[in-house]
Amino acid sequence: MTFQELEEALTIFGLERQATLAEIKNRHRELVKRYHPDASPAARPPDAREEREIRRINAAYRLLLAYISAYSFSFSEEEFYRQNPEERLQHQFGNDPLWGNGWS
């Protein structure tokens, strides 16, 4: 996988530089509902464009999942507070007599 392929997958899914696994899965579900050949309202065989599009969507999904599965998650205190800003504020100012009073 190259970074360019990863960027293309994000573009196909319409995702920003950061996304949760839930967001990726939900977006995949939305795209499949929209472009899957069997979802066509008319009882007609799928055209080549529809088939190409669903293949592109599924390939992008597999690539994103492969990237995520190889990702090393950080469980450091710094990362925890970056992901949870309210807890960071509590940790930083919770004992301060001026700012910390009333926080539980």
**Are 31 and 58 members of one domain?**
yes
**Are 14 and 50 members of one domain?**
yes
- pLDDT tens figures, 24-73: 999 999 999 888 777 666 656 667 787 889 999 999 999 999 999 988 88
> In sequence order, which ranges of 3-103 are alpha helices (DSSP H)?
3-13, 21-35, 48-69, 77-83, 85-93
**Are 8 and 38 members of one domain?**
yes
Domain holding 94, by residue range, is 75-104
**Are 93 and 66 members of one domain?**
no
pLDDT above 70: percentage of residues in the chain: 87
Q: How would residue 102 be classed by pLDDT, with cut points 50, 70 and 90?
A: low
**Are 66 and 89 members of one domain?**
no
**Are 44 and 15 members of one domain?**
yes
**Are 38 and 7 members of one domain?**
yes
